[in-house]
């Protein structure tokens, strides 16, 4: 099955409808990731069909749960996940990707150029050193760190009323118990990723008024 057919089948399974141009860019991104991965070791996944499932579908599975977020920070995004697929899927969403490893940020910049992603900005820096005004109404991470560290390192970037979106595997009971004071889980979504036989959860966190 071609990458395009795999993509279209996966999007249909998730109930996500995107324009044809987005389909083309998603497939092009997967090809670009595979190409650069041979030299830069961006991901341990080598097979293109596995990249579709483990990377693109996994990233896009959060799309229906981002609500009205307009400015999204993707922290520790590696090869641009989930930020680049989300930027492709939602051109009106401004995505800033914060990545400390130079070769990974360089790849993201190349992807931005080749895919013509005007709404995507890669930043090579430690997240705790980044400052933005206006700040972000959504901050997302995909296996970046423990929840408490994720919040501690990024809370200064979250706008009032904004939310954290932590992509996790099995439900992180112990991590949630260690959340910093002033933050609470407002929703936990069990994600369904086509062709992936593994637990995936999206943990949505916000300030409870004391932080």
**C-alpha to C-alpha distance for 13 and 209, rounded to whole angstroms:** 38
Q: Is 178 among the annotated ligand-binding positions?
A: no
Residue 41, pLDDT > 90, answer: no
CA distance 6 to 15: 14
> Distance between CA 54 and CA 93 in Å, rounded?
23
Q: Is residue 142 marked as binding?
A: yes
Query: What interhelical angle do 20-40 and 3-14 show, nearest 10?
Result: 120
Which residue, 108, 52, 65, is CA-closest to 84? 108
Is 17 labelled a binding residue?
A: no
Please give the model's pTM, rounded to 2 decimal places. Answer: 0.95
Give the pLDDT of residue 49: 63
Q: Which domains does the chain have, with CATH numbers?
A: 59-207 (3.40.50.150)
pLDDT, tens only, 89-129: 999 999 999 999 999 999 999 999 999 999 999 999 999 99
Answer yes or no: is 76 a known binding residue: yes
With a pLDDT cut of 90, the percent of the chain lying above it is 80
- On whether 128 is known to bind a ligand per the annotation, the reply is yes
Which pLDDT belongs to residue 210?
57
Q: Given 3-state DSSP classes, what are the helix, strand and coil percentages for the chain, each rounded to the nearest 5?
A: 40, 25, 35
- Name the nearest CA neighbour of 55 among 7, 97, 90: 7
Task: Tell me if residue 79 falls in helix, strand or coil.
Answer: coil
For residue 149, pLDDT over 70 is answered with yes
Decide if pLDDT at 85 tops 90: yes
């Amino acid at each position: 099955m071609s990458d395009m057919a795999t993509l279209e089948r996966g999007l249909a399974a998730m109930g996500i409808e995107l324009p044809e141009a987005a389909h083309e860019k998603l497939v092009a991104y997967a090809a670009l990731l595979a190409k650069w991965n041979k030299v830069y070791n961006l991901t341990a996944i080598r097979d293109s069909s596995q990249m579709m499932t483990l990377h693109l579908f996994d990233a896009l599975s959060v799309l229906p749960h981002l609500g009205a977020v307009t400015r999204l920070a993707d922290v520790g995004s590696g090869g641009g996940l989930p930020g680049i697929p989300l930027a492709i899927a939602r051109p009106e969403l401004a995505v800033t990707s914060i990545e400390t490893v130079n070769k990974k940020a360089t790849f993201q910049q190349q992807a931005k150029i080749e895919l013509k992603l005007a709404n995507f900005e890669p930043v090579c820096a430690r997240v705790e050193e980044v400052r933005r005004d206006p700040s972000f109404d959504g901050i997302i991470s995909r296996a970046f760190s423990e929840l408490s560290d994720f919040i501690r390192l990024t809370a200064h970037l979250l706008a009032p009323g904004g939310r954290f979106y932590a992509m996790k595997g099995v439900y992180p009971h112990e991590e949630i118990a260690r959340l910093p004071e002033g933050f609470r889980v407002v929703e936990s979504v069990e994600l369904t990723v086509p062709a992936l036989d593994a637990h995936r959860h999206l943990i949505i966190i916000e300030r409870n008024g004391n932080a």
